[in-house]
Amino acid sequence: MPSPVAVASLARVKVYAVGPGVKAPELLPLNLPPLSTGKCKQKADGTVMLSVIVDETGRPRNTFFFHPLGTDLDKFALQIAGADRFKPGTSSGAPVAVAQLLEVNLQGCVEQAKDEAGKKVYRLRLRSQPEQKLAPLPQPPEDTVLAPDDKARVDYEGGTPRTQHVGGAVKAPVPLISVEAQFTEAARRARYAGICMISVVVDKNGMPQNPKVLRTLDYGLDQNAVDAVMRYRFKPAMRDGEPVPVIITVEVNFQFY
């Protein structure tokens, strides 16, 4: 017999769209820690648009990319959206789940630092508080399965999400941004080409995680392939309308044309 939590996690809920009789959720003030006031030499600004369902308690659920940037600002946008709380939307005065488009405007600063090995790395920080606004979500679902909070999930093992495999009820993730991997200078001089195979987890938000090289190439191309794949962005895999993490394999093709 499945546990009560497992049954609840598969329950479908009606999703409302803002319109006659349906009021939109309201974003509550977000209490973020103070930001660094240091000078910024290299700015990185952008707007990330997320699909989100605000449930009847005012929590964001099923949050994933609608229009990502393909940069680390995407990660900030997901973190901010995950911390958001709302006055719930209502239908005829009663709280309901409402589909919304969440626009997160971010102003970042790229800073140079060194990692533990002394290697030069670049890190992104926010230089101002994010600005957010809600809008109607184009083509919202009529109903869905709401992804539970990570701590309440029944398909976790040791605190790590159990990944699904595409097929059957699990629909494949859809690439929104794919990045062309760059040749290393050594590979370019040698006219070296080939296909690198990368296994990656696409999480429930559409972010790539845990890359593993399945088929290697020489001249440092493996790392360039991983770097490119980690900048991919997806609409996540779906199981009965609920976003779920899956493992996929990406072919990175290094060819001269």
- How far is residue 134's CA from residue 215's CA, in Å, rounded to a whole number? 43
Contact 134, 24 (CB under 8 A): yes
> Number of structural domains, the chain?
2
Contact 97, 55 (CB under 8 A): yes
Looking at 117, 145, 173, which one is the last position of a domain? 145
The sign of the dihedral angle between the CA atoms of 150, 151, 153, 154 is: positive
The angle subtended at Cα 234 by Cα 232 and Cα 240, nearest 5°, is: 155
Domain with 120, as residue range(s), is 4-20+34-145
Tell me, yes or no, whether 58 and 98 share the same domain. yes
- How far is residue 201's CA from residue 190's CA, in Å, rounded to a whole number? 32
> Which CATH number covers residue 239?
3.30.2420.10
Answer whether residue 27 is part of any domain.
Answer: no
Tell me, yes or no, whether 140 and 14 share the same domain. yes
Contact 186, 77 (CB under 8 A): no
* Res 6: pLDDT: 42
Answer whether residue 40 is part of any domain.
Answer: yes
* Res 181: pLDDT: 95
* Res 224: pLDDT: 96
Q: Evaluate if pTM is beyond 0.75.
A: yes
Tell me, yes or no, whether 117 and 180 share the same domain. no
Q: Dig out the tokens for 94 from the structure.
A: 């009663």
Answer whether residue 247 is part of any domain.
Answer: yes
Answer whether residue 81 is part of any domain.
Answer: yes
Q: pLDDT below 70 — which residues of the chain?
A: 1-10, 36-37, 149-161
The string over 227-236, giving b where at least 16 C-beta atoms fall within 10 Å of a residue's C-beta and e elsewhere, is ebbebbbbbb
Answer whether residue 55 is part of any domain.
Answer: yes
* Res 161: pLDDT: 56
Answer whether residue 16 is part of any domain.
Answer: yes
What's the pLDDT tens digit per position in 59-94? 999 999 999 999 999 999 999 999 999 999 999 999
